[in-house]
Amino acid sequence: MREKRKILVAVTGMSPQIVTETLFALVTQQGWLPDEVHVLTTGRGAGKIGAALFAEGHFARFCADYAPEGIAFTPDNIHLIRDAAGNILDDIRTPEENNLAADMIVRFIHDCCREEDSALHVSIAGGRKSMGFYIGYALSLFGRVQDRLSHVLINEPFENNPAFFFPPRLPQLIATPQSEVSTDRAEVMLADIPFVRMRDGMPNLALDANWTYGQAVAQTQLQWEDWRVEIDVGAQSLRFGNMPPLKLSPQLFALYAAMVALYEEGKAIGKEEMALLAHYFCRFYPKEYAENGERYGDFLASRGYEEMHRILREGSARIFKALDKHLGAPAEKFRIASSGRNNAKVYALAMGKVQIVWRR
């Protein structure tokens, strides 16, 4: 079996040391050597990383001591938080900038977790406190069984010491406010943080839909709350919770609206109830006449409702496909379910406790 690609993801601010400190603990204490490192940071944070880890050579020295085969970490692996116009944020000072950081961080972890051949180790040690929260929460939303979360702890006087990046194999003296201290006295401790994995209950969040951190949280919360289902007859669309409306074709919308109306009356539909389904279907279907000029209800009746049966069978599958793409796991709650076999099949919605709102 192919080994999963190991990726360290960290948020940083003005202390780039957390990257090498975390790497040191992972490699020396847990035997976990990442294939690549990715850092999420601000413009000022990126400047600190560029100066300390690359220009001053601290990352190269770490690799020489503990990862001679190398780790993929270059300026291209530094991911900058930007505003809506694409401008790099130097820092996170306002609520608006905080929201931009949240969206970027959560989207990045979402993308990483879509790659089945990877295993993430996520560090919350650096950056603003909110950045650590967001990246930890993102892993809780999207993390898989192979993903881990941690914080790195350093003893005094090495914690926050700008001269300390990791304990080198050959100890060195570094300056502290009191005196010079040997790096062999440094203790770098990795604290693994357990987290709840909520991945299976999350809706599908397509990146081209411009979803935000707030929407991801809201949709997660809906898994534990009653859903509101809005049937907009005029727009021929469905809305679940605060998700964007789902637009269906006229035929599929009429079918689903009919099944919702029947659900409210506690009715299921078998082959013998096609006339009842056709009655409700025609209430929501905007096409008054069939191609042969008959009224649509008469057209369905004249064919023994076989056409209505076909629309139900095929439409149920197509609606579920649309729901699954739009909602993800919660789609199962709102599908038109069937039970029984062949001609004895019965179709019904089984949404449970929901609030149904009609808009006409």
What mean pLDDT comes out for the span 23-36? 95
* 120 three-class SS: strand
Residue 208: the pLDDT is 46
Residue 141, Ramachandran bin (φ over 0: left; ψ between -120 and 50: alpha; else beta): alpha
Query: Quick one: pLDDT band at residue 224, thresholds 50, 70, 90?
Result: low
Contact 81, 104 (CB under 8 A): yes
- State the angle between helix axes of 95-113 and 129-142 in degrees (0 to 180), rounded to the nearest 10: 30
CA angle 311, 317, 320 (to 5 degrees): 125
Sequence-distant contacts of 246-250: CB under 8 A, at least 24 apart: 246/322, 246/323, 246/326, 248/319, 248/322, 250/285, 250/286, 250/287
pTM: 0.68
Q: The dihedral of CA 107, 113, 116, 119: what is its sign? A: positive
Closest CA to 80 of 92, 68, 88: 88
What mean pLDDT comes out for the span 321-333? 86
Query: Quick one: pLDDT band at residue 207, thresholds 50, 70, 90?
Result: very low
Q: What is the pLDDT of residues 70-126, one digit of tens each?
A: 899 999 999 999 998 999 999 999 999 999 999 999 999 999 998 889 999 999 999
Cα dist from 156 to 98, 160, 176, 185, whole Å: 31, 9, 10, 9
- Higher pLDDT, residue 22 or 3: 22
Cα dist from 9 to 80, 98, 114, 194, whole Å: 13, 19, 15, 17
Closest CA to 127 of 10, 8, 9, 13: 13
What mean pLDDT comes out for the span 191-204? 79
pLDDT above 50 (res 246): yes
Q: What is the pLDDT of residues 3-18, one digit of tens each?
A: 889 999 999 999 999 9
Closest CA to 22 of 171, 126, 173: 126
pLDDT above 80 (res 209): no
Residue 201: the pLDDT is 60
Question: Which residue ranges does the chain devote to CATH 3.40.50?
Answer: 5-207
Residue 91: the pLDDT is 92
Contact 246, 222 (CB under 8 A): no
* CA atoms within 13 A of residue 29's CA, in its CB half-sphere: 14
Q: What is the pLDDT of residues 328-345, one digit of tens each?
A: 778 888 999 988 877 778
In the chain, what percentage of residues exceed pLDDT 90? 64
Mean pLDDT over the full length of the chain? 89
pLDDT above 70 (res 205): no
Contact 49, 78 (CB under 8 A): yes
Answer yes or no: CATH 3.40.50 is held by domain 5-207. yes
Q: Which residue has the tokens 């993929």?
A: 72
Structure tokens at 268: 């299921």
Residue 105 CA to residue 71 CA, distance in Å, equals: 22
Residue 223: the pLDDT is 63
**Helix-then-strand count for the chain, H and E:** 11, 15
- Higher pLDDT, residue 333 or 19: 19
Structure tokens at 54: 């690359």
What mean pLDDT comes out for the span 130-152? 93
Structure tokens at 137: 């929460």
DSSP codes, 32-44: ---SEEEEEE-HH
* 163 three-class SS: coil
What mean pLDDT comes out for the span 17-42? 95
Query: Quick one: pLDDT band at residue 198, thresholds 50, 70, 90?
Result: confident
Taking the CB of residue 308, how many other CB atoms lie within 10 A of it? Answer: 28
pLDDT above 80 (res 256): yes
Q: What is the pLDDT of residues 342-357, one digit of tens each?
A: 777 899 998 877 889 9
Residue 1: the pLDDT is 55
